[in-house]
Amino acid sequence: MPSRDSWNLDPAVGRLRKIFTLLEARQAEVLARLAIPSLDPRVRPARELARRLWERAWARANYRGIGLQETQMADLYEYAFILAFKQQGVGPPIPKDWPGADIRDLMEDISG
């Protein structure tokens, strides 16, 4: 008998799956822009730091009552991933108008 994925019935699970799909895509885009292969030894520590920053910023957004949309969650992760590489001395400067004041404020709030 085929098993049915009952998690698909939960809208929160569906939203998280969509968010994580977007995060994976953004991560691949950043690596492509930086010309860094996914197996480069710098990627793992960058991913770990980005995840920690992303989780803290998401928690801060919830604390402030800011409901982030899926694309904003992806923007937040992409920014965290780029910052993680910047700490390793990799990557170009981040434009001042990207990723938007709300995302930048969250990240600055948790990191400084």
How many domains does the chain fold into? 1
Residue 36's domain comprises 6-111
pLDDT of residue 3: 52
pLDDT digits (tens, 9 = 90+) for 34-56: 999 999 999 999 999 999 999 99
Q: What are the helix (H) ranges across 9-69?
A: 11-34, 43-64
- The answer to whether residue 96 is domain-embedded is yes
- Phi and psi at residue 99, to the nearest 5°: -95, 15
- The answer to whether residue 56 is domain-embedded is yes
% of the chain beyond a pLDDT of 90: 65
Query: What mean pLDDT comes out for the span 22-30?
Result: 95
Structural tokens at position 73: 């969650």
- The answer to whether residue 85 is domain-embedded is yes
Task: Return the sign of the alpha-carbon dihedral for residues 109, 102, 62, 70.
Answer: negative
- The answer to whether residue 1 is domain-embedded is no
The Cα–Cα gap between 80 and 34 comes to 15
- The answer to whether residue 93 is domain-embedded is yes
- Global pTM value: 0.85
